[in-house]
Structure 1
Amino acid sequence: MTILHSTQNDLDSIFKIYDDATEYQKKQTINYWKGFERSLVKREIEEQRQYKIIVDGVIACVFVITYNDPLIWKERDADPSIYIHRIATNPSFRGSSFVKQIVEWAKGHAKETGKEFVRMDTTAGNDKLNNYYFNCGFEDKGITVMGFEEELPLHYRGGSLNLFEIKA
């Protein structure tokens, strides 16, 4: 298993994984991803914030990081943190505990970049996913109610999110 920056050549694979993840979400919950703009993912790749996990030459999982997340974390965004978003696993690799591996990688990356915390969020009320994040070492940092800002992905607008944090 190797974590690498995604490249523009990975775009079709990334969106296939997102589409598969969305279909899986639809079977699990009423709150699922509503799609993402290719321009957004292209920019994340250019900014070297979009990552892929490679297993045996295949993209097994993708995720995005950012260093600021004020729309979600509000005043707590001032804390030096790394934020993980859009973890999506290739269906052939489900059950591989990639989140635990991403968290360990993120903790190291946070230390390298002078950040104190690794943070994540998920739609409020998803007990199965919440418990998984607790098992990965995250602490519950409460629920935040989202507004309707245009910068937010569609699935976040007007909803509630559980916030999670772990020391780097």
Structure 2
Amino acid sequence: MGLINGLPAHVLLVHFVVVLVPLTALALAVCAVRPSVAQRMGIVLPLLALVTLVSVPLATEAGEWLEEHVADDALVRRHATLGDGLLPWVGGLFVLAVFVWWAARRRESTGSGASRRSGRSAAAVRVAVAVLSLVVAVGAAVDVYRIGDSGAKAAWHDGFSKTASDGDGDAD
């Protein structure tokens, strides 16, 4: 994937990643901590995570194309290296989103008739999934920030002036 409407596809596709990864991370964290929210969201949570998961390799592939079409630069290489590390985080978001959705559906269908012993083990699993979800959500969000920051530095490091222009396009 190279160009979309004359622009590098990466420049456009990366906006999906920048929005969807933190949104999915937030949704997962809330649903993992509050099962009632997961029940209300239903299938939306894993579908959101799936769209997010698909968007990352698309942006990465477009980024690899763009990398081949710009001058060799240490900042671009750093950005590409960081970008390659996002897919495992987003894969984790997807797997956990599916599990949280499945657990919410199961809890909804079984009701509250569980024994005390199975209730304790279910609570322990719920706490473990919530903690793991929070760790993966924060890791994914931080990784997106780091990748975006490195990409902005690569794109803009010498592309602007620190002083304002004279306003060549202004009408007098």
Greater Rg by CA: 2
Category of TM-score, reference length = shorter chain:
under 0.3
Q: Which has the larger helix fraction?
A: 2
TM-score by length of structure 1 reads 0.27
Larger relative contact order, structure 1 or 2 (CA cutoff 8 Å, min sep 6): 2
